[in-house]
Chain A
Amino acid sequence: MSPDDRALSGRQPKAVTSALRVLEEVARAGSGVTAKDIAARLSMPSATTYRLLNILVGEGYVVRLPDLSGFALGQKIGVLVDAAVVPTVCAAAREVLAELRLSVRFGVHLFYYTNVAVRTADADPEYPPPEDESFLNQHLYACAVGKLLLAEKSELESVIPRWEPRALTARTLVARSELIANLDLIRSRGFATQLAELRDASACVAVPVRSGSGTLVGSLALSGHVDHEHLMLRHVPSLREHAERLAPLMA
């Protein structure tokens, strides 16, 4: 690369390339790198570098450290990390799931959670879940695994910025107050249900999988026909027991 190519300006659209370079350099240099260092390493005009850094800080991708001269990657990068990671289920966990699947006549699914989303880790091949992962994430308020995630948050807005739900069935919780009451129930009972809220005939019961420190990392769910609701609820103790066995294998 010639020196001319590297002397990037702050103007559009090169600014995007420059900003990404700056971001990369902060990632590579590790916590505490200064703006001056970044400008020097990228051979970028210092005024441009400072401006780009301040934009990245403003957006939360980069954080200015308390000494005000050092930079580090910010939490916002977590959004990218969340999208990039793929849940992996180890062999020991698969065995636990296989054992559970032999003992019930419903679909048994394992989900992982990122901070704001549900990810399918192991779906039952025999009774596949009625909806795919992206549909669940769009309608967290209408599915059991989604409601477990929402129940974990102190503020609904951190996952659903604007409350504008779509009634998927006649039983979908569209009133914010109803959902909040439902989440309170989930917190007190320790498991979540979905009774014909996502699809007219489907039902689901989900129990949380928690790490040793108590944070929510995943959930174990049972899916079936809504008419079998009472039968599915009977399996909650067994689901909990299996979730406890899965916890050390997941977190």
Chain B
Amino acid sequence: MSGTPRIRSRSPVAGLERARLSFVQVLGQSVSAVAPSAVMVTLPALVIPDAGRATLAVFAAAAILMTAVGYCVGQFATRMVAVSGLYSYIVKGLGAVPGFAGGWSLLVGYAAAAMASTLGAASYLAALLGRVGLPTGSTLIAVLAAIVGLLALLLMIRGVKLSARIMLAIEVFAIVAASAALVVAFVQSVREGATASAGGAKSGSAVGFAVLLAITSFVGFESAGTVAREARNPFVTVPRAIRWTPIALGVLYVFAAALQLPEPVREGVDSLPIVLTLPDTSGAGSSALSVVMELGITASWFACVLGSTTALSRTLFAMGREGVVPTVFGRTHHRFHTPHVALAAAMPVIVAVPVVYLFVSGSSRDVLIGLLAVSAHGYVLAYVLLCVATPAFLRRIGELTRLPLVIGALAATAMVALVGWAAFSRTYVAGAATAVYVLLMLLGAAVFAIRARRSPGIGERMGVYDEAVADDLLGRYRPWEVRR
């Protein structure tokens, strides 16, 4: 044996808070980045026209696929405490260049999701204010977006524990509110004699596209990995959160989709509403319920801002520590132990892009769809790379067994096939979102090329994680002494 490998005395990600979050708070990170309450009232309405009666099966299939991705993420999460989640995992499995591609893609995913959520929160807030007579319009939304961004930034700089706690409370409230509204709308429509039928699926490839769309309603579930250092017992809590989130979301979405199968429910829902309205016939009681639900969805979008930006900032922080992006991003606040530079740099962009986009396009719905589409591209590439990286990583450390190999290969193949299949469908237009995504990836490649030229050994330093330090080993242990 060549002896002990080089052990540092200080973790490369030192500075971030350590061992603070409970399992529930880690779960809060994952759940809020997904924003399930907002998804459950909007996404089934998008999927149903394409998938028809197969909708429930589509959501079930997406849940199974995401559970498989979760299994792969779990293989890494039980072995390394990474602060940048999938980015460090892919680097460890496939090396620097694919790792950077995956990490950058995920940054695009998180950033676009955070932008969409900021706009979502601002739009819902504007609609709520509209109910009391304030003139709704792009200017109001822009002001509200700035307020949302500032509030989120302050919360996240103040501390991960505080924001994780708020996120989960918000999300639970929003899910209950959205479920109540859906049940009321469903009961209403059944009483009016509507049958719970949505017709057949359009075509095979439409179903493929529908599954891909359904997958986007799960993205963000892997972000528990980004708060691993900040979690208590990260090797236990993080894999558990990542394993259970897709299953729980799958159940929730199938339930939400089932309630939205009758035509009249979706009439109120529109295809992708900024504000979900219940049928007028529902009476005063349901308009109160609408307000509660709007509050819930606003809150959920806000939690999603927190969740996505938290994940984004931790990934940027890790890249800063490695020197892949300017090292200033790798700083932490001396009192709150949060990556305040990464947060402060990201937030203005997250607010400005959707606001500018909104003024150009004029429709907050278009902006929302556009941003979510870009975001979905980012996540899907990262997931595919991760599934490929899993067996490669396990092989490298000599722990490859059959199950991760099979699941990793199947999940990666299924996702690639799905993208291909969906591309054949008429519904799928490789439009502006794909173009924007490709441009952003090229920008990433340029950033990486420049940084790699400036410091040649960068590949070696990539993939930082909270590795074992001398103090973690028993070797240095003295029984008769008190450590601080």
**Segment of B28-36, B114-122, B475-483 engaged in the interface with chain A:** B475-483
B6, B233, B479: the one within 8 Å of A78 (CB): B479
The reply to whether B7 and A66 contact each other, CB–CB distance below 8 Å, is: yes
B92 at the interface (CB under 8 A from A): yes
Residues in A neighbouring B480, C-beta threshold 8 A: 85, 87, 112-114, 217-218, 250-251
What sequence of 0s and 1s flags, for each residue 139-182 of chain B, a beta carbon within 8 Å of any chain A beta carbon? 00000000000000000000000000000000000000000000
The reply to whether B468 and A67 contact each other, CB–CB distance below 8 Å, is: no
Residues in A neighbouring B481, C-beta threshold 8 A: 113, 115, 211, 215-217, 251
A46 at the interface (CB under 8 A from B): yes
**Segment of B213-221, B253-261, B347-355, B395-403 engaged in the interface with chain A:** B395-403
A63 CA to B441 CA in the complex, in Å? 37
The verdict on A85 contacting B479 (CB below 8 Å), with A50-B401, A68-B80 known, is yes
Chain A residues 30-59 with CB under 8 Å of chain B are 30-36, 46-47, 50, 54, 57-59
Residue of B nearest to A213 (CB): B481
The verdict on A68 contacting B4 (CB below 8 Å), with A74-B472, A78-B479 known, is no
Chain A residues 85-127 with CB under 8 Å of chain B are 85, 87, 112-115
Interface residues on A, range: 35 or more
The verdict on A64 contacting B473 (CB below 8 Å), with A31-B3, A115-B481, A218-B480 known, is no
The reply to whether A81 and B473 contact each other, CB–CB distance below 8 Å, is: no
Residues in A neighbouring B7, C-beta threshold 8 A: 65-66
The reply to whether B398 and A74 contact each other, CB–CB distance below 8 Å, is: no
The reply to whether A113 and B482 contact each other, CB–CB distance below 8 Å, is: yes
B10 at the interface (CB under 8 A from A): no
Residue of B nearest to A78 (CB): B477
How close is A158's CB to chain B, nearest CB, in angstroms?
9
The reply to whether A75 and B1 contact each other, CB–CB distance below 8 Å, is: no
What sequence of 0s and 1s flags, for each residue 176-202 of chain B, a beta carbon within 8 Å of any chain A beta carbon? 000000000000000000000000000
The reply to whether A47 and B78 contact each other, CB–CB distance below 8 Å, is: no
The reply to whether B477 and A54 contact each other, CB–CB distance below 8 Å, is: no
Q: Is the interface of A mostly helix, strand, loop or mixed?
A: mixed
The reply to whether B474 and A32 contact each other, CB–CB distance below 8 Å, is: no
Residues in B neighbouring A34, C-beta threshold 8 A: 397-398
Residue of A nearest to B481 (CB): A215
B454 at the interface (CB under 8 A from A): no
A72 at the interface (CB under 8 A from B): yes
Other CB < 8 Å A-B pairs besides A63-B472, A70-B4, A77-B474, 9 of them?
A30-B1, A32-B3, A35-B399, A66-B5, A68-B92, A75-B472, A81-B474, A81-B479, A115-B481
Instruction: Point out residues on B near A: beta carbons under 8 Å.
Output: 1-8, 78-80, 92, 233, 235-236, 396-399, 401-403, 467-468, 471-475, 477, 479-484
Instruction: Point out residues on A near B: beta carbons under 8 Å.
Output: 29-36, 46-47, 50, 54, 57-59, 63-70, 72-75, 77-78, 81-82, 85, 87, 112-115, 149, 152-154, 211, 215-218, 250-251
